[in-house]
Amino acid sequence: MPHRGAQSLPDVPQPDRDPGRVAAALLKAFFRIAGLWQLGEAEQLALLGLESRTTLYRWRKDPPPRLDRDKRDRIGNLLGIYKSLQILFPDLEAADAWVRWPNQAPFFHGERALDRMIRNGLVGLHEVRQYLNAERGGWA
């Protein structure tokens, strides 16, 4: 199976660019990761911090003119998690499945990373990202 690599996800725009382009690129990356991780609708809503399925469907087809800081931070953390998993796991299927595996590391106490991210919201996303960065020897 060919490696997807970082180039298969859209480049994350620089902050000085048009907010609409930033929102579109971030959401495109989010929905690509959601597909690779086989995230259900409820999981996508929770990870984005949304309550409305209508908003999720609308964003999939027509991104908003801008995303608030919370949504940008959530997606940014997910991108960092995705990147770390690609580095840590040479097997792409394992990298994509990791968020669903019960994890026996002391940090997780047998819990799946996905459950921690959903339960703790933005804080949980950041915690999982920091954990993976530390595991790969990167910055936290």
- Tokens 């399925």 — which residue? 53
Q: What is the pLDDT of residue 2?
A: 46
Query: Residue 82: exposed, middle, or buried by beta-carbon count in 10 A (0-12, 13-18, 19+)?
Result: buried
| Contact indicator for 74, 122 with CB cutoff of 8 Å | yes
What is the C-alpha to C-alpha distance for residues 40 and 48, in angstroms, rounded to an integer? 12
* Local confidence band at 7 (pLDDT 50, 70, 90 cut-offs): very low
Q: What is the residue range of 90's domain?
A: 15-136
Residue 7 within a domain: no
* Local confidence band at 6 (pLDDT 50, 70, 90 cut-offs): very low
The pTM of this model reads 0.85
Residue 1 within a domain: no
**Tens digit of pLDDT for each residue in 119-128?**
999 999 999 9
**Tens digit of pLDDT for each residue in 42-87?**
999 999 999 999 999 999 999 999 999 999 999 999 999 999 999 9
CB atoms within 10 A of CB 83: 17
Residue 130 within a domain: yes
Residue 46 within a domain: yes
Radius of gyration of the chain (CA): 15
For 10, which DSSP code?
P
Assign 82 to helix, strand or coil.
Answer: helix
Residue 5 within a domain: no
Domain count, the chain: 1
Residue 8 within a domain: no
Q: What is the pLDDT of residue 137?
A: 85
51 phi and psi angles, rounded to 5 deg: -110, -25
pLDDT for 1 beyond 50: no
Residue 3 within a domain: no
Q: State mean pLDDT over 106-118.
A: 96
* Local confidence band at 37 (pLDDT 50, 70, 90 cut-offs): very high
Higher pLDDT, 16 or 78: 78
Cα 18 to its chain centre, rounded Å, is 22
